[in-house]
């Protein structure tokens, strides 16, 4: 069965760490060369073919931080 979706959601990663609630820190333990931050306020959708090589792989604890930051960035962390 072929892939149905041709686009993926990506988040920019920068070495500038601001300590914002919408950031998740990512670094050498995740395969990234430098201590960095993924800013979940800047989600982008790109075509899958633009991904040419893997630079790292987020550990489970990093993914938890990314999910928390994403919930804050989208307002999903608020009680209804």
Structural domain contains residue 2: no
Q: How many domains does the chain have?
A: 1
**Band (32; pLDDT cuts 50, 70, 90):** very high
Q: Does the pLDDT at position 14 exceed 70? A: yes
Q: Please write the tens of the pLDDT for every residue from 37-57.
A: 999 999 999 999 999 988 899
Structural domain contains residue 70: yes
Q: List the CATH number of the domain containing 42.
A: 2.30.30.110
Structural domain contains residue 62: yes
Q: What is the pTM (predicted TM-score) of this model?
A: 0.83
Structural domain contains residue 28: yes
Residue 41 domain boundaries: 7-74
Virtual CA dihedral for 51, 58, 4, 7, nearest 10 degrees?
A: -40
Question: Among residues of the chain, what percentage have pLDDT more than 70?
Answer: 94
Any idea what the Cα angle at residue 38 is, between residues 54 and 55, rounded to 5°?
15
Judge contact between 67 and 37, C-beta under 8 A: no
**Band (18; pLDDT cuts 50, 70, 90):** very high
In a 3-state reduction of DSSP, which class is residue 14?
strand
Structural domain contains residue 55: yes
């Amino acid at each position: 069965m072929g892939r149905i979706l041709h686009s993926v959601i990506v988040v920019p990663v920068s070495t500038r760490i601001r300590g914002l609630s919408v950031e998740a820190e990512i670094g050498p333990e995740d395969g990234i060369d430098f201590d960095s931050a993924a800013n979940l306020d800047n989600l982008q959708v790109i075509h899958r073919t633009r991904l040419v090589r893997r630079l790292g792989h987020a550990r489970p604890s990093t993914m938890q931080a990314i999910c928390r930051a994403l919930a804050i960035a989208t307002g999903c962390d608020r009680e209804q």
